[in-house]
Amino acid sequence: MGKKPRIRPIAICLFRQGDRILVYEDTDSVRQLRFGRPLGGGLDFGETSEAAIAREIREELSAEIHSIQRLGILESVFEYEGKPGHEIVFVYDAKFVDESLYERAELQVNEGKRQFKARWRSLDDFRRDDPHLVPEGLWQFL
């Protein structure tokens, strides 16, 4: 018997620098859709969403954050690589303790064995849908 699909609770952070936000970019090869998504990740059992976003940023960027403020919650039902997904998304705003991170064009992200770059992207890029901003509904917090 296969694994039952489940709703995944996650926390993401809208780090802002002027009219830019920090996102990682990827492509859904099935739909040929390039997208940008803020950094963050899943909540562990017994962990608050605020604690999760601080932990995720510490793990992914080796960076500490402060002034953490929850902006709202989204429900995201989507398809990625031909498979359905369902997330409850806690959306946060926060600041980096190390302000030099705002001056870098890109940041190295480590997620377990996977490594990738996060980049500061203009909101105008997302308005042009290049790349597409996910999760859907995130605009209400920008």
For each of the domains in the chain, give its residue range(s) and CATH number, in order of start: 8-141 (3.90.79.10)
9 Ramachandran zone, left/alpha/beta (phi>0; psi -120 to 50)? beta
pTM exceeds 0.75 for this model: yes
Distance CA 56, CA 38 (A): 12
Strands 83-96 and 8-13: parallel
Q: Kindly state the DSSP code that residue 43 receives in the 8-state scheme.
A: P
Closest C-alpha among 135, 139, 132 to residue 9 = 135
pLDDT digits (tens, 9 = 90+) for 3-27: 778 999 999 999 999 999 999 999 9
Phi and psi, residue 134, nearest 5°: -130, 155
Confidence of residue 71 (pLDDT cuts 50, 70, 90): very high
Cα 130 to the center of its chain, rounded Å: 17
State the pLDDT confidence band at 2, using cuts at 50, 70 and 90: low
